[in-house]
Structure 1
Amino acid sequence: MLRSASSVISFKIGWWIVPDAKTPAAVRVTSFSLTYHAGAPRTVLHDLNLDIAPGTCTALVGESGSGKTTLGRAIAGRHPRTTTTEGSIQVSGRSAYMLQDAASALNPLRQVRWQLKQALKIRGVPRRELETRSLELLANVGVPEPAIIMTRYPHELSGGLAQRVLLASVLATEPDVLVADEPTSALDVTTQAKVMRLFRRIIEEQGLTLVLITHDLVAATLLADRVAVILDGAIVEESETATIIQSPTHTYTRALVAAATSTEILTLGDGTHEPS
């Protein structure tokens, strides 16, 4: 595993094996189980199966302790050493993991410029190109006045701006698959929608495959093409987002949908992820 000095990003190149070309998938989870061995053995993921197509977003949705974060970390190759696994997870290309809270993920003692350059150095970008590439990364994620923001420290950024800087740092490693852990949970509703639209644009323009970890089904509808509902370490339902919202089959999924008010849940019949 390679990590930036700011501990923002980790990724593995060619982690496990590229999926079978006959049935292409950016991520393929096959009969995957995971057991913790810190103390008494405890199996937290049970015989999971999941395929994620390239250039799409799949949301892993569930309550705290459901296993969604453990699965996301396993996809990114970050499960603890005190675990054993059965089955397999195949990831095509390079994977990266985006931590939940940008304010704590970014190094508080370093300017934005340093954080981006560290990420670019991981990818072997020549020193003479670091400044230009850093500015381009910030512009790509919609940061206004990138040259000024480059000189700022994390505590000087708003929540939405810090999230964009963190995303720029992750994208600097040029991942094929990005696992984003609750990327909007600390943001207000308006900023959440803006960040979700940013993720959607990057997916469409760069062909990124996104695995979104969230407890919020409403947030998932803003971005995800498909939703996998996780309960007690098992995937109890997985389908297209519109199907999950309009025709949930599992009792737990129906409860999640019912918990979201009619004004929050999107009408997905027109195929858009944008809020009205």
Structure 2
Amino acid sequence: MSKKNKSYDYVIIGGGSAGSVLGNRLSEDKDKEVLVLEAGRSDYFWDLFIQMPAALMFPSGNKFYDWIYSTDEEPHMGGRKVAHARGKVLGGSSSINGMIYQRGNPMDYEGWAEPEGMETWDFAHCLPYFKKLEKTYGAAPYDKFRGHDGPIKLKRGPATNPLFQSFFDAGVEAGYHKTPDVNGFRQEGFGPFDSQVHRGRRMSASRAYLHPAMKRKNLTVETRAFVTEIHYEGRRATGVTYKKNGKLHTIDA
């Protein structure tokens, strides 16, 4: 076993959507040493299979980018298994998804807030954080439901193909609303969606949060580093063991 002597204040297991945000935010304190361990590969800038929007179907089901999870055999589906793509790459599933940006319905968050002690998970408390993460080019500057200065840059699809309009019209004919913004004041209905695409490239969580922070001396990001064990003292995690290049390394935190 190889022992790495350096210890960290924070060790983040997984450089996916949440891990990318945590790596950025925690390393804002220059006096704290932060380590991000990602089991998958890096989201290389030159990797067209994840950076080019037109290649969005390539990473799913590909062992280089996807953990290739699936359900058990489903008896009511003729014994078939349902694939569940999960990103095995820096940025996690935000690096292999369809780049559609859509919040949960406000009533979902109201349901989260119903149990005692969960009051701050209602939509009113979550909305400021949605706004904080996004820079929405397709929304008016005065739109109080959308963010305008966040790191996730969102592009509104033009929906100029006649099929889009036919689809929207069919929804209205069926009794549904047509909404100008599925993340705005009225989510329910048919309308163009936001996409996480900026300057022709995928805008993943790692590209928005983690890569800009990598220039900080107190942030270390390791890829192809698979955590095999979390060490505890009582209920407190004190370090991890991870495998990289066939060797085991232990880190204290």
Structure ranking higher in helix proportion: 1
Instruction: Assess same fold via TM > 0.5.
Output: no
The TM-score, its normalising length taken from structure 1, stands at 0.27
The TM-score, its normalising length taken from structure 2, stands at 0.29
Highest Rg: 1 or 2?
A: 2
